Structure 1
Amino acid sequence: MFSGNNLIALLWWGAYTVAAVWLHRFVPGVDLFAPGIVLSLQEDGGRRTLWLALCWMLIIEGTGNLPFGYGLAWYGVLLVLYLLGRSVFEARSLVFMCLLGLALGALHPVITHGLASLAELTVNDRQLLLEGALQAAFFPVIWVIAGKAFPKVLRQDVKPL
């Protein structure tokens, strides 16, 4: 049913998903799937990344209290920032990942506040800014850890999307 590499990839990404959901209990408001999306783009290419993004969007949309669209906007902007940024920076550069983390950290309060206002929810701006700062700090760290843990068997040169 699955080839060796596909089974390894399924197990690895499944374990990553479980770890990200578990860690989210300790750092709420921080998207730990975003570094996985970037790692998948770097290592697996587009098709697997699309499936991961769809699964993770369903998790994000299903567990949050914002109207549908946060995950779509979040990962859509992440994809655009990554594709534009890799034309300027080395795609696997730590500096690029730190800048991407800063951009996502600034974006989190904007998207959350915008969607919360559409649903007429009140949000704590201070909490949103803290979550944005944590997103900026955690993104490159999780990317480095996940990159080191990514199975060598699955590493490949990625063709442009």
Structure 2
Amino acid sequence: MSQAEAREAEQAELRLDAYLPYRLSVASNAVSGLIARAYQDRFGLTIPQWRLVCVLAEDGSLTQGQIVARTVMDKVTVSRAAQGLVKRRLVGRTEHAADGRSHVLTLTPEGARLHAEIAPLALAYEAALIAGLSPEDVALLKRLLARLQAAAGQLAGEADPPRLA
């Protein structure tokens, strides 16, 4: 076997630590785990609940289907997060005027206050995570993540991949 063939065979081997989907998953789990502990310990929120609160604070009232599309979380995860938030009176749930099978979720004043309290902490975590990166590196990372998400959406057959949440 020539050196070129040996290099090609080595590159063809799956090495988990060099496999980009694995590295993305590990990094995502590390960041989510860190933040999840903080949200759970201080505020009693799961990551899906926090995402739901953020989306409602940012976009206003939405149906669960719209939240699924916006956050790329599955229906069951969104439903459970919504139920927990409704039970805590952080989110209100009303029937959809045009679609009786659907419900509209809205942040309550208490939910909006909680968002206002947590948002600066979330931004502080983000700042600490990217402290070693230049602003250009951060912008590049965000662009690359958006491109990877779009490529994954295309491979999955999605016409219009969802935006990052």
TM-score normalized by structure 2? 0.34
Q: Which one has a bigger Cα radius of gyration?
A: 2
Q: Hey, which of these two has a bigger chunk of strand by percent?
A: 2
Q: Hey, which of these two has a bigger chunk of helix by percent?
A: 1
